[in-house]
Structure 1
Amino acid sequence: FFCEKKSASIFGYPISIFFIVVNEFCERFSYYGMRAVLVLYFKYFLGWDDDFATTIYHTFAALCYLTPILGAIVADSWLGKFKTIIYLSIVYAAGQVILAVSAIHDITDTDRDGTPDNMTFHISLSMVGLLLIALGTGGIKPCVAAFGGDQFQDHQEKQRGTFFSIFYLSINAGSLLSTIITPVLRAQECGIHKQRECYPLAFGVPAALMVVALIVFIVGSGMYTKTAPQGNIMVKFCRCVGFAIKNRFRHRSSAYPKREHWMDWAEEKYDKLLIAQVKMVLKVLFLYIPLPMFWALFDQQGSRWTLQATTMNGDFGLLTIQPDQMQTINPILILVLVPIMDSLIYPLIAKCNLNFTALKRMTVGMFLAALAFVCAGLIQLQIDETLPKFPSGAEAQVKFINMIEGEAISVNAVNPSLLPQASADYLTFAEPFNLSVGGGAPYLQDLPDASRNTIIFRKDGGNPRPQRFSDITAKPEKGANSIRFLNGWTSKLNVTVGESSFGDIVANNMSVYVSVGQGEPQFKIMDASGNECVFTQSLGFGSSYTNVIPPTFAFGENCAASIRPIMDISPNSVHMALQIPQYFLMTAGEVVFSVTGLEFAYSQAPSNMKSVLQAGWLLTVAFGNIIVLIVAEAATLEEQWAEYILFASLLVVVCVIFSVMAYFYTYIDPMKIEAQFAHPDSDELKRKGSFDKNKVHDPHGKQRKDSDSSREGDRAAETKM
């Protein structure tokens, strides 16, 4: 099954790499498309609150970056890269299909009301799907790019470099397109019994793309250069470290002489070259310790920042942006900033003779990410100022609407007089109160705790009487608008908008709330005789209105003019465009931090242990998502802006710690150290003299391009994990 052969080529490139590039594009489209709408699926389909949705989101993200270690071990030790990609891609595609099926709300909808009756079924199926996706996407992550590098011969160094550029482009192209398309698919309405947001379609298209990725990869099977597994260096690395620790504690008494480094206790079993290589890797892994904090902030773009966008105004004039589409700014900026940094910013810094080392760049990247969260916190403060003040505890709020045309109503202890219109805003009461209308007998108003209410005044036997209705006590979700109709007419009316119905509204009664999107929807009002009136209302994002049909309403050409929209909750006024600076700072931080970090790690690692550092790098991403879970649960902050500032503050502290660690780090040349242990008495070393460990080595200098380093170092191409 494994063979070494020269594959067919075109323009000097193996034809096989085109299958690999297409496979990677489809796989990244599948992953990022699914993840773009995932937190909204948790909140609005499964009904979880913001905190729990964020917790599960980051738990899934952490699993996606823990499983690459398993994939690397399986590929290098047993199955090889090709078989590992095939088998785990099948698992991956199955997970995507299961997730799409879990979002079909009609599966368990026995009451035909559009609400899933057996939510346990949907949750269980979703978790199985996500677990399989995490195993699949993580398992193939360390294999695909490396497998692509295997397709080139030793003399094709230039073509190999071009391949990784194209490979990186395919990653970001898949990410960009998916984060644009899947939110649009989600926003569509679908369903058998009741139309709802189409999460099955939003998950189904990524599932189809993953199936396409698998098929494309299999089609190219006969053209691939497949290498047999050579044994996993990560296992050997762990065994060497484990033996050194075990041996050190076994001989911890003073009778045994001390050794220069604790890894030297492995000399009884392992050769000095391997020990020296392990020491070099451990130096870099030690610098990895503070890095998860960066990823803790970075990965909240898909959770907290997306939820923040749901409370903002997405009207950009020519187009309306969905909250989950704001994530497209990240891949767009990456494609713009990477060449700018490499071809403009870094050369300018070099011309200024500034010693802007790799670790300094990473420190700057962490600081930029902290600034991004400060921006997010400031925007959240602006959003909070525009949010209505909902009642809490024993408080209750009430708004008054006078349905008696042409007659003012006197309400004692509230307002001196109430004209035939709504009160300006909700009034807050901490205890029951007496409501006396027009000098009549008082009515005791004992309102439910933490409730919002509307009290209307209507004629009952010639006397004005109050009638209470319950209002919503939360901002409408996803930027939609909660609309209801108050029928003050003498007969029953039926109101619809699109495929949604407010139902039959009897006289002097209130309809249910219906979620209506932004724009200018047309409401059709019909009576029992089939007379129709069309009322058009201009709606923004996140508002709530009570549309009053007055007693004087009459069907005809100007019927809509008499309908009075009363705003209960104002629309979102903070624009989504204000999120662009925080996305810019975060993406700039990613480019400086992530790309530089991978290059630095590979320049400081032995050629045969670059995969160990790749695994360590992915682990920092996993632990970063775990930090989000810990901080979010432990902090228990009621205000979201305070949580943003907390994360920013933690990253600044970690940034200072990392800068101190970087100051004391001494750059090395792994090639010279390896050569020193491999050929300690060679004439070449005698001519060059011993290696000066205090000499600073440029981590971005030209590196050796042997086949081993290219196979392991190619994993750096996938900087967007």
Structure 2
Amino acid sequence: MERKHGPSCLGFPLSIFFIVINEFCERFSYYGMRAVLVLYFKFFLHWDDNLSTAIYHSFVALCYLTPILGAIIADSWLGKFMTIVSLSIVYTIGQTVMAVSSINDLTDYNRDGIPDNIPLHIGLSMIGLILIAFGTGGIKPCVSAFGGDQFEEEQEKQRSKFFSLFYLSVNAGSLLSTIITPVLRGEECGIHTKQKCYPLAFGVPAALMAVSLIVFILGSKMYKKAHPQGNIMLQVSKCIGFAVKNRFQHRSKQFPTREHWLDWASEKYDKRLITQIKMVLKVLFLYIPLPMFWALFDQQGSRWTLQATTMDGNFGAIQIQPDQMQTVNPILIVIMVPVVDTVVYPLIKKCHINFTPLRKITVGMFLASLAFVAAALVQVQIDKTLPDFPKEGQSQIKVINLGTDVAKVDFGSGVENVSVESLMATNYMTFDTTSLTRMNIAYGNQTLNQPLNFPGKERHTLLLKNTGGIQTELLLDGLTSKSEDGKNQIRFINNLASTINITMGGTHLGDVKNFSATNYTSFTRGVKEIVVFADNSLTCKNQSISFGYGSAYTIVIQECNNNTLALKYVEDIQPNTVHMAWQLPQYFIMTCGEVVFSVTGLAFSYSQAPSNMKSVLQAGWLLTVAIGNIIVLIVAGASKLSEQWAEYVLFAALLMAVCIIFSIMAYFYTYVDPVETEVQLDEDEKKKMENEKSICENGTGPISQCEL
């Protein structure tokens, strides 16, 4: 170490606060960028949901696969300090490239709003994401371990509190960025073409990453900097390889059995290295079940967010959007970490319960499993409110009667003589597509027989009117699922005699001919002003009903006269009725699990690692997160479960099974003190050398050894 003692504040080395601030800014940068990433893929690059999701999870997995690279660089080449500085520069460049890639004035746009030179944006985005993944992943195992290095051996209590403070800064950065960057993205910017302001949403995280780098460098003179101790990963790999090779070479010969398979490397490698590798492998073996926890935890940003899109986010004065529910986790973390450290753990200790780190991790896994059971129960309630959308081989039809008489429609297939009163609508009726070939309409004294041909798995609306004969218009609705962003889908039907122009909530919907409909347009919740301009220069206004979340309405323009706008509302998809507050229990349980699992895991990884392999073990801990993301894709793809609640139960059951396995593994684990073990090894080596020296001085030792 370059420095043994230094200035302190509140019982901590002063250097710790530079590291904590650095971590706060870096996490703001990472989570801020990640919060809008999928929306950038979908709405700026115009990728579909599957591709956007696949690239997103691939990026997250890469971010947690690269820590092993950072650990190797830190422990064998640059040291933790220079590794953090170097890769933070790469990280900052990556964030800057992402901000540049999203500038909408780089290229022209076609009529559909898609960039003409889309490969340029995609290329820059992929370069930026790769640089970010190597940057954030590379420094990840180094920063927490570097913070642990700042404490003296007798400051174990302060070091334990540091890991809680460190985790608190992670979640504080995550919380603020998850709130702020979606707001920045929601603004419109651009010189020639106005688009959602992704350059600002990516630019602010880039600026925060630059601040993170500057703050870290400012504390340089205060840090204790451990020098790299050789290519430890290469030594470890060679030692393990030699032990395996040596064991199999002598498997058929008579050799004394050895206590551990790694002891077969003792002919070539010293006892200290072999013992250190044993300690690391014991912990890494314990890590095998842990990815399943992260497989559940990381679904807060995917499955749970999608679940929130089918729920009501009206909290009175505050209106919560589905993706904003993710902020519940960091808010609870900021509250619960100090509560658990200062209240819960001391109470458990007073009850004389030996709440060891591995027991804490086990409890964390159990709580995460319960959180998914809670999510499944909420999903069951949501499913009761969801509309029945057509499946493969089915079609759905709704009839809206815009005329003045009662209409009767016969679709056959068991759905005969459907009566529709004037200015009324039916619910959606489901048909087998193959049997839905014709319809017969009786309207007053008139009849109409019309052929039908549906491709299936679609919703349709049949408009009827009896002005000078039976008029029909078959609309393809295109709504086969709930809105994924919680917005309301609204369309208008013109039942006036002339063409009209419609504006709603400041959004211009264009001209609509008589007996025609607009496409569905997305609107946020609340009351909107509807303005209609008729051909006779008449302007009519009216306030809409208060829209909730995730609904779909067809609004019929009935009358525009003397500034009176008469409207008829037809509900196509009912608004979300299960409140988002019902997600709070599952978030609370999951956060409780995270506090006892993740904070403990960071501290446990540091405490059980030899002095020269701490970053390697931290990287192993972070590697479990990457594998957890991969598990989500594998299980979700292979399960083929049609019901979302069933998938939640499947994940809960898998984690519960893994939890039981881990508890058995933890029971047989023996905690070690790496410092004490290394001191004992040094003393044994010293005694051995003294004995050999004494033997040689007495003339009783082997000549060859004493000559050396």
What TM-score bracket applies, with the shorter chain setting the length?
A: 0.7 to 0.9
- In 2, the alpha carbon distance for the partners of 1:8 and 1:353 equals 37
User: Aligned equivalents of 1:260 and 1:673: distance in 2?
Assistant: 17
Task: Return closer, same or farther for 1:91/1:445 CA change in 2, 3 Å cut-off.
Answer: same
Amino acid at match of 2:440: L
Decide which moves more: 156-165 or 341-350.
156-165
Aligned to 2:388: 389
Question: CA-to-partner distance for each residue in 1:71-93, whole Å, 9 max, x for gaps?
Answer: 12222322333332232122212
Q: Determine the structure 1 residue equivalent to 2:471.
A: 465
Shift in alpha-carbon separation, 1:305–1:536, aligned structure 2, 3 A: same
Q: CA deviation at 1:101?
A: 3.6
Q: Any idea what SS the aligned residue of 1:638 has?
A: coil
Amino acid paired to 2:438:
F
Unaligned runs of 5+ in 1: 684-721
Counterpart check, 1:612 vs 2:620: no
8 A Cα contact 2:99 2:203, kept in partner:
yes
What SS does the aligned partner of 1:477 have?
coil
Contact 2:73 2:83 in 1 (8 A): yes
Matches within 5 A, 1:433-582: 433-438=438-443, 439-460=446-467, 462-474=468-480, 475-498=482-505, 500-528=507-535, 530-537=537-544, 538-550=546-558, 553-557=559-563, 559-560=564-565, 562-582=566-586
3-state DSSP of counterpart to 1:125: helix
- The equivalent of 1:409 in structure 2 is 407
Deviations 1:510-536 (A, max 9, x none): 112211111112222213454322232
3-state DSSP class of the match of 2:315?
coil
Task: Report deviation, 1:138.
Answer: 0.9
Would the aligned equivalents of 1:502 and 1:513 in 2 still touch at CA under 8 Å?
Answer: no
Give the one of 573, 584, 588 matched to 2:588: 584
CA separation of 1:615/1:246 partners in 2, compared to 1, >3 Å: closer, same or farther? farther
* Partner SS state of residue 456, structure 1: strand
Tell me what 1:63 maps to.
Answer: 62
CA distance in 2, matches of 1:340, 1:526: 60
The answer to whether the 8 A contact 2:420-2:426 is kept is no
Cα separation, 1, equivalents of 2:4 and 2:281? 37
Once structures 1 and 2 are overlaid, which stretch shifts more, 486-495 or 137-146? 137-146
1:165 and 1:604 mapped to 2: Cα distance? 17
Instruction: Work out whether residues 309 and 483 of structure 2, in 8 Å CA contact, stay in contact via their aligned partners in 1.
Output: no
Shift in Å, 1:310: 2.2
Give, in whole Å, the separation in 2 of the partners of 1:544 and 1:11: 57
Query: CA–CA distance in 1 between the matches of 2:376 and 2:43?
Result: 24
Contact 2:163–2:603 (CA under 8 A) maintained in structure 1: no
Task: Report how far residue 329 of structure 1 moved.
Answer: 1.5
Preserved contact between residue 234 and residue 611 of structure 1 (Cα < 8 Å): no
CA spacing shift, 1:118–1:379, aligned 2, 3 Å: farther
- Amino acid paired to 2:97: I
Q: Are 1:114 and 1:194, in contact at CA under 8 Å, matched by a contact in 2?
A: no
Q: Aligned residue for 1:305?
A: 304
1:621 aligned partner:
625
Note the alpha carbon deviations across 1:135-160, whole angstroms, 9 max, x for none.
01111123334445666788988987
Tell me if structure 2 keeps the 8 A contact 1:292–1:623.
Answer: yes
Q: CA deviation at 1:283?
A: 1.8
> Where does residue 700 of structure 1 map in the other structure?
none
- Which stretch shifts more, 388-397 or 95-104? 95-104
Answer yes or no: is the 8 Å Cα contact 2:440–2:447 preserved in 1.
no
Q: Which residue in 1 is equivalent to 2:431?
A: 429
Cross-structure match for 1:713: none
Distance 1:480 1:27 in 2: 32
What corresponds to 1:283 in structure 2? 282
Worse overlay, 339-348 or 512-521:
339-348
Please list the CA deviations of residues 431-456 of structure 1 after superposition, one character each: whole Å capped at 9, or x if unmatched: 22322232423222333422211111
CA pair 284-275 structure 1, distance change in 2 beyond 3 A: same
- Distance in 1, Cα, partners of 2:510 & 2:250: 82
Kept in 1: contact 2:71–2:142 (CA 8 A): yes
- Equivalenced residue count is 676
Q: Distance in 2 between matches of 1:153 and 1:676?
A: 19
In the other structure, the counterpart of 1:651 is 655
Residue 319 (structure 1) shift = 0.9
Q: Which residue identity lines up with residue 397 of structure 2 in the other structure? A: V
Shift of 1:214: 2.8
TM score, norm. by length of structure 2:
0.87
Classify the secondary structure of the residue corresponding to 2:318. Answer: coil
Deviation at 1:584, TM superposition (A): 0.9
Q: CA–CA distance in 2 between the matches of 1:247 and 1:615?
A: 29
**8 A Cα contact 1:298 1:586, kept in partner:** yes
**Identity rate, percent:** 61
Per-residue deviation, residues 49-105 of structure 1 (Å, max 9, x unmatched): 555544333322221122112112222322333332232122212222333344445
Note closer, same or farther for the CA distance 1:510–1:416 as it changes in structure 2 (3 Å cut).
closer
1:575 to partner: Cα distance: 1.6
* Stretches of structure 2 lacking an aligned partner (at least 5 in a row): 688-708
> Which sits farther off after the overlay, 428-437 or 218-227?
218-227
Deviation at 1:651, TM superposition (A): 0.7
Q: Could you report, residue by residue, the CA deviation over 1:593-623 in whole angstroms, capped at 9, with x for unpaired residues?
A: 2223333444444344333321221122221
**Contact preservation (8 Å) 2:75, 2:613:** no
Q: Compute the RMSD of aligned alpha carbons.
A: 3.1
Q: Which of 627, 631, 636 is the matching residue for 1:632?
A: 636
- What is the CA distance between 1:32 and its match in structure 2? 1.4
Does the CA-based 8 Å contact 1:57-1:303 persist in structure 2?
A: no
User: Residue 63 of structure 1 aligns to which amino acid in structure 2?
Assistant: L
Query: Structure 2: which amino acid aligns with 1:421?
Result: L
**What is the TM-score when the length of structure 1 is the normalising length?**
0.86
Aligned-partner SS, 2:470? strand
TM-aligned CA distance change 1:625 to 1:129, over 3 Å: same
CA distance in 1, matches of 2:442, 2:194: 43
Is the counterpart of residue 660 in structure 1 residue 664 in structure 2?
yes
Note the alpha carbon deviations across 1:490-516, whole angstroms, 9 max, x for none: 221111235532111112211122111
Q: Supply the AA of the counterpart residue of 1:534.
A: K
- In structure 2, do the counterparts of structure 1 residues 119 and 639 end up closer, same or farther at CA, with 3 Å as the change threshold? farther
1:259 paired residue number: 258
* The 10-residue stretch of structure 1 (373-382 or 291-300) with the greater mean CA deviation from structure 2: 373-382
C-alpha separation in 2, matches of 1:383 and 1:45: 31
